[in-house]
Chains A and B, each alone.
Chain A
Amino acid sequence: MNAVLPDGMARVTLSGVSMEVSIALVGDVGVGDYVIVHVGYALARIDPEEAERTLALMREGGVIGSSEMMEALP
């Protein structure tokens, strides 16, 4: 998200394409946050810590909610 605009709107950018979307459905978002946008509305904010944790688990080959790991990547 690049800017918060009046009337519950915000400017967002995806791969260089910029557009105005409504943030009326998500409470606490601000500039720098990543949001999921659907039909012109932000539906959810991406939790950066959970995103990083999921990615770390994927790189180690584990699954969410499990401590098991699979073979290390080549």
Chain B
Amino acid sequence: MKYIDEYRDGRIAQAFARQIAGEVRAEASYRLMEFCGGHTHAISRFGITDLLPANVRMIHGPGCPVCVLPVGRIDMAIGLARRPEVTLCTYGDLMRVPGSRGASLLKAKAAGADIRMVYSTLDAVRIAEAEPSREVVFFAIGFETTTPPTALAIRLAAAKALKNFSVFCNHVLTPAAIQSILESPDVRALGRVRVDGFIGPSHVSTIIGTQPYEFFAEEFGKPVVVTGFEPLDVLQAILMLVRQVNEGRHEVENQYVRAVTRDGNAIAKGEVAEFFELRKSFEWRGLGVVPYSGLRLKQAYATFDAERRFDLADAGGEDNPACECGAILRGVKTPTECKLFGTLCTPDTPMGSCMVSSEGACAAHWTYGRFRDRARSAA
């Protein structure tokens, strides 16, 4: 496949590994956070950590959209789905995310709730159009990549004058989460990790561009390199970050020039601005309440807002107390430091959200990393 295979060339990866090893300073440490779950998955899948010197450490960030959704919002979605008049449309990877007391959308569906997995927001609009007697609610989650598709679904539903379509909005913002990791008092109290540089997200950055990261680079003195999802992209970005750290620079650099510009996607940003506004605060799993980090529908589109239509109240649910997802999402702990990992908690029976999505740190480590652990402990 063009634009994929050539960015996976093992010989070039080895050359990058030698170059990185040659440039790191023995006395320095390079703690690099990949914000995005897509990178977490790529780093595990392609074994990139095996190519890095011991003092270059990759720290998984909170950029897995399913992982950061708090229990309370899952409980609200389950509550919605249990209403007899409601058809809840959801992306498939939300089905197994644990809510309170072991509940999940999958179990609610098994118990009779009308929950349908969709691939695209357009599927949800089609269902609403085809079944006018059902109250069709789209369970909208994700970062800047999934928000424009939700906006377009509302635009389409409005154009078709659909009265039975609404959106349960849980969209969140990448820059707010990065800032929270760097400075939030909550996160400081919960435990904070030292980060020397950030790998900036791929798809998110196609939408928002590289400009929003300039503030962190400047204000917090942390280098940011926006990069693609292929292994050579990630290795090249690591080399760029190592050089910035060595030279004492903290700039925003763009490795993913084939898809990302400084200003991003103007059409997509325009659609988001038309339909959404900032919430004063939003709760994240792992980060707590983060100011101005989530979106809701504007008043002008209130009829499409499921929270208003069904008068939903915020439900505060609690995670399983033994689950370390919170600390893992902040980069403070690794999956194997959780006592549930691989015993009670596996992708088949996830106890925490990080084990659900393939982008979650625990699921990625379960799928690709645990064999390395075994090899290491046997050696």
Contact = CB atoms under 8 A, between A and B. Distances in A.
Contacts of A70: 15, 18-19, 22
A73 B12 contact: yes
B306 interface: no
Contacts of A21: 120
Contacts of A48: 258
Contacts of A46: 3, 258-259
Given A43-B203, A44-B265, A51-B3, A38 B145 contact: yes
18 contacts: A22-B152, A24-B152, A27-B267, A36-B203, A38-B145, A39-B142, A39-B149, A40-B120, A44-B203, A44-B206, A44-B265, A51-B3, A51-B258, A54-B257, A58-B16, A61-B15, A63-B236, A64-B254
Nearest to B38: A38
Contacts of A50: 257-258
A58 to B, nearest CB: 5
A38 B120 CA distance: 9
B239 interface: yes
A61 B19 CA distance: 8
Contacts of A53: 257
A40 B232 contact: no
Contact of B119 (A26, A34, A39, A55): A39
A-B interface, 3 closest residue pairs, ranked by CB to CB distance from nearest: A40-B120, A44-B206, A51-B258
Interface in B1-30: 1-3, 6-7, 9, 11-12, 15-16, 18-19, 22
B293 interface: no
Nearest to A34: B3
Interface in B241-255: 243, 253-255
B271 interface: yes
A17 to B, nearest CB: 10
A12 to B, nearest CB: 12
B203 A59 contact: no
B257 A64 contact: yes
Interface in B24-52: none
B278 interface: no
Nearest to B120: A40
A23 B146 CA distance: 14
Nearest to A72: B15
Nearest to A70: B19
Interface string B151-164: 01000000000000
Residue of A15, A55, A66 ringed by the most chain B CB atoms within 10 A:
A55
Contacts of B260: 44
A65 B265 CA distance: 22
Interface in B100-133: 119-123
A25 B121 contact: no
A56 B258 CA distance: 13
Contacts of B232: 58
Nearest to A25: B268
A16 B11 CA distance: 27
Interface string B217-256: 0000000000000001000100110010000000001110
Contacts of A47: 257-259
Contacts of A38: 145-146, 149, 203
A58 B146 contact: no
A6 B53 CA distance: 52
B18 A14 contact: no
Residue of A47, A48, A63 ringed by the most chain B CB atoms within 10 A:
A63
A54 B268 contact: no
Given A14-B1, A46-B3, A39 B146 contact: yes
B16 A61 contact: yes
B91 interface: yes
Residue of A34, A36, A54, A58 ringed by the most chain B CB atoms within 10 A:
A58
B98 interface: no
Residue of A39, A59, A70 ringed by the most chain B CB atoms within 10 A:
A39
A25 B152 CA distance: 9
B12 A43 contact: no
Contacts of A26: 265, 267
B325 to A, nearest CB: 23
